[in-house]
A and B are shown apart, each in its own frame.
Chain A
Amino acid sequence: GQNIDQPTEMTATEGAIVQINCTYQTSGFNGLFWYQQHAGEAPTFLSYNVLDGLEEKGRFSSFLSRSKGYSYLLLKELQMKDSASYLCAAPLGATNKLIFGTGTLLAVQP
């Protein structure tokens, strides 16, 4: 089977750093995705990790540990516009069928 878990909500302060965790159990690992979704809008792609380690992309970084079934999204220098849901997702087996976690709603406060 396949299961993806992430916290439901998080709160952070503008200018700070926040880490959003995701744990997964998949039958056949083919990478892990992070998407950002603002309220009422479609998700947008943030990152894709298939190898262990940290991938940095501007203020956003994503980390993967395949042996632990664990990933995190790191957001630095938080801005108010970063208030959104962050969705962790993984393909099911060898297919291109992407399964999503329930998402983490991040609230950035002044």
Chain B
Amino acid sequence: DGGITQSPKYLFRKEGQNVTLSCEQNLNHDAMYWYRQDPGQGLRLIYYSQIVNDFQKGDIAEGYSVSREKKESFPLTVTSAQKNPTAFYLCASSPWGAGELFFGEGSRLTVL
């Protein structure tokens, strides 16, 4: 079945450590996105990519990094520079120009 797979679903990290969240899609979508959601709040855009080997910063990119080496994959690294990384991270994709986002199930990161 086509869809978006995020892993891991739950992740614990010590302060000062980098962590990478995986996002893979087999929908053949050009655009991919990473959002962050904090309790009781909406989604805030971290990074997005419209084509392979190209990506743009969203509204809260500081302390995060991404790569888009393959169309299917858009991993997000949460670096030690991110001051408050505990959050629910959502990856999404969309066909170019269509607008509708298809979301993965999310990764919940907790910094201990």
Contacts and interface: CB of A to CB of B under 8 A. Distances in A.
Could you say which of A42, A44, A100 has the most chain B C-beta atoms within 10 Å of its C-beta?
Answer: A42
A42 B104 contact: yes
A96 B94 contact: yes
Interface residues of B, number: 27
B85 interface: no
B63 interface: no
B50 to A, nearest CB: 7
Contacts of A96: 31, 48, 50, 94, 96-99
B41 A102 contact: yes
Interface in B13-38: 31, 33, 35
A35 to B, nearest CB: 8
A2 to B, nearest CB: 10
Nearest to A96: B31
A33 B100 contact: yes
The 3 A-B residue pairs with the shortest CB-CB distance, nearest first, are A42-B103, A102-B42, A100-B43
Interface of A: 30-31, 33, 35, 40-45, 48, 87, 89, 91, 96-103, 105
